[in-house]
A and B are shown apart, each in its own frame.
Chain A
């Protein structure tokens, strides 16, 4: 039995533009200290970076090409995959380094409409079921509201505020896109970690009297404050 030869139609190659959201890591000198801090962060939030696209912003450091490559290798060993670079000179960047990206914008997300860019309307994501261990909700466009509990081992990353009408037992990271006015509210604080605009606190660092109670987290002068809600 002979197989018929496959006939391929002659379609042209399609190349399109699309925008994605990625997290940006901005190292600072000295690199060894920055890496130590990074490792500390990772101990509290293991697997946070797994599978996430990360951009490395080199604007705050002056690194030679081999040093950039070295840093990327060190991060890869920690499970961080760098998919692009920002803030570096074009002549520093060539394969096998990740491509140089330009024109990155702070979110909230912009939508493109016939070429003109307009800011999106303020947005919120409402979830009416509990969030289970292992689930991860990312909503950079605005607030996340959960009607239910957030289990230990679950995480919520919001560009705006996070409101949990239930027990917060997982990780809540608000203001992820640089919004220092974002807050975190929950009916019952049993959180593993809370963070606003990258300033974080883990369960161990929280006052015992705040555990199990309705609480509010906010950022004041770059200090994360957690207080009971009355």
Chain B
């Protein structure tokens, strides 16, 4: 029986899609059967980050409308055989995404996967509320920056009221994933500290992903960062976060980029 996880934030551009791909690939590498679903409508992104953009045949709305079966729309990752992608629609309008349709798809997927990760679009409209509707747990991606924190708080409020679990009076497990963290700026007092973010949001921490060029490189190539460069700082942080999702209790480490070999060799300043 699958665990349905929503990756959401409220604010756009903070790293939801990157995190969905990274966590999905990390869980798949641990042997879990994982499906990632792109809930954006009209702006498809997860397929690009996963490197599957050339293989999209049918999308989420095609399945909702019965134009295609789920098995025809799911795209298997070429590198990890237990990782699947259900892409978003590029051309339809938001009203085509119905709650009943999504409910039926999630129900069908529950028996086939260990994890169903819903990549939420930004905002608090239809795509975002549908992505969280059937979630058992939530990862709230937050940058250590004021408007991101405020938007994350808003989303947490919605998770506690607009999900099926919340309506039944059940608890949905919520975790904060801090992304684009820069330890130097935090020590200089120019960036919100992790403690500040957690205190304001009153929600437990899943992990801290450092700011890194590796994320850009991975998305350029079309590979989740945990697959493209598993030893990099953000990848290691994502692997830890994935382990914590599975219940492991790992103390949070702030990984930093290791100095490039050449710079060490030639004594270049960092």
A–B: direct contact at CB < 8 Å? yes
- Any chain B CB within 8 A of the CB of A37? no
Which residues of chain A have C-beta atoms less than 8 A from B151's C-beta?
A: 133
A152 CB, nearest partner CB in chain B, Å: 6
- Scoring A130, A133, A151, A169 by chain B CB atoms within 10 A of each residue's CB, the highest score goes to A133
Q: Which residue of B lies closest to A153 (CB)?
A: B150
- Residue numbers of B with Cβ under 8 A of A are 150-151, 153-154, 156-158, 160, 200, 202
- Any chain B CB within 8 A of the CB of A149? yes
CB of B202 within 8 A of CB of A153, answer: no
Contact of A153 among B154, B158, B160 (CB under 8 A): B154
Number of interface residues of A (CB under 8 A): 14
CB of A133 within 8 A of CB of B202, answer: no
Contact of A130 among B150, B158, B202 (CB under 8 A): B202
Complex CA–CA separation, A153 to B202 (angstroms): 16
Complex CA–CA separation, A189 to B42 (angstroms): 43
Which residues of chain A have C-beta atoms less than 8 A from B200's C-beta?
A: 149, 151, 167, 169
Contact of A148 among B153, B154, B160, B202 (CB under 8 A): B202
- Any chain B CB within 8 A of the CB of A134? yes
A132-180 CB contacts (< 8 Å) to partner B = 132-135, 148-149, 151-154, 167, 169
Complex CA–CA separation, A100 to B134 (angstroms): 46
Main SS of the interface on chain A? Answer: loop
Main SS of the interface on chain B? Answer: helix
Complex CA–CA separation, A152 to B148 (angstroms): 12
Report the number of A-B residue pairs with Cβ-Cβ less than 8 Å.
30
Which residues of chain B have C-beta atoms less than 8 A from A132's C-beta?
A: 153-154, 156-157, 160
Q: Which 9 A-B pairs have the closest CB atoms?
A: A132-B157, A133-B153, A133-B154, A134-B154, A130-B202, A151-B153, A135-B157, A132-B153, A132-B156
- Scoring A151, A153, A169 by chain B CB atoms within 10 A of each residue's CB, the highest score goes to A151
Complex CA–CA separation, A157 to B157 (angstroms): 18
A190 CB, nearest partner CB in chain B, Å: 10
Which residues of chain B have C-beta atoms less than 8 A from A135's C-beta?
A: 157
Complex CA–CA separation, A134 to B156 (angstroms): 10
Which residues of chain A have C-beta atoms less than 8 A from B202's C-beta?
A: 130, 148-149
Q: Which residue of B lies closest to A130 (CB)?
A: B202
A50 CB, nearest partner CB in chain B, Å: 15
B173 CB, nearest partner CB in chain A, Å: 15
CB of B157 within 8 A of CB of A152, answer: no
Which residues of chain A have C-beta atoms less than 8 A from B150's C-beta?
A: 133, 151-153
Q: Which residue of A lies closest to B124 (CB)?
A: A134
A170 CB, nearest partner CB in chain B, Å: 10
A47 CB, nearest partner CB in chain B, Å: 13
Q: Which residue of A lies closest to B202 (CB)?
A: A130
Q: Add 6 more A-B contacts to A132-B154, A149-B202, A151-B150 (CB < 8 A).
A: A130-B202, A132-B157, A132-B160, A133-B157, A153-B150, A153-B154
